[in-house]
Structure 1
Amino acid sequence: MYIKNDICYAGEMQDGIKVTDARPLRGGMMLVTFSTGEKRLFDTTLLSGEAFKALAEDEVFRHPVLFHGVITWQQGEIDIAPEFVYENSYAYDDMAI
């Protein structure tokens, strides 16, 4: 765990990685773009615990807000560290479509 700019993050600090875009898809999947320019697919249904339960509701899931490079929902009540999203996602090649 570490704190940067008064925000507490889980995991190890990775300098400079931020989420620059997060687009909800079907089935709890998100297409996430990082400050590196890389696009990756992240499955929010793998998140466990009471804190993430509201993401099962489509009305909540479909309205993420980026706050200082972090994906949040419900006015910041739910958030996911960009390092976690990156480490638990897989590369997306939009040229393959």
Structure 2
Amino acid sequence: MLLTITDVEYLGDYTLLCTFNDGIRKKVDLSPLLQYPAFKELQDKTQFIQFGLQDTIFWANGADIAPEYLYENGIPA
């Protein structure tokens, strides 16, 4: 089965609650990614919270995150 994100909620700081197509929900802290160039401008929380969802999470600057990363690095919610 191809892993996708079906719902996402902003929890505060740089943490998202992701619901996956297998029904599992995980809290994911994305702050460790903010050191990388593609995510650097998302340190501005007003930009960070402006994410979109289309099978995975993406931002206007072109940054996106593989659902597998979120699944593996999240903690059960």
When normalised by structure 1's length, the TM-score is: 0.72
Tell me by how many angstroms 1:59 deviates. Answer: 1.3
Q: CA RMSD in A?
A: 1.2
Task: Compute the displacement of 1:57 (Å).
Answer: 1.0
Task: Work out whether residues 66 and 72 of structure 1, in 8 Å CA contact, stay in contact via their aligned partners in 2.
Answer: yes
* 1:41 lines up with 2:27 in the alignment: yes
Give the share of equivalent positions with the same residue, in percent: 33
Q: Which has the higher contact order (CA 8 A, sep 6+)?
A: 2
Q: Which runs of 4+ in 1 moved over 6 A?
A: none
Q: 1:71 corresponds to which residue?
A: 57
What is the deviation of 1:78?
0.8
2:2 equivalent among 7, 16, 19: 16
Q: Distance in 2 between matches of 1:26 and 1:44?
A: 11
- Name the residue aligned to 1:58: 45
Count how many residue pairs are aligned between Structure 1 and Structure 2. Answer: 76
Gap runs ≥5 in structure 1? 1-14, 93-97
- Partners of 1:83 and 1:54 lie apart in 2 by 23
Return the alpha-carbon distance in structure 2 between the equivalents of residues 60 and 82 of structure 1.
20
2:12 maps to 26
Deviation, structure 1 residue 58: 1.3
Structure 2 alignment gaps of length 5 or more: none
Cα distance in structure 1, aligned partners of 2:44 and 2:5: 22
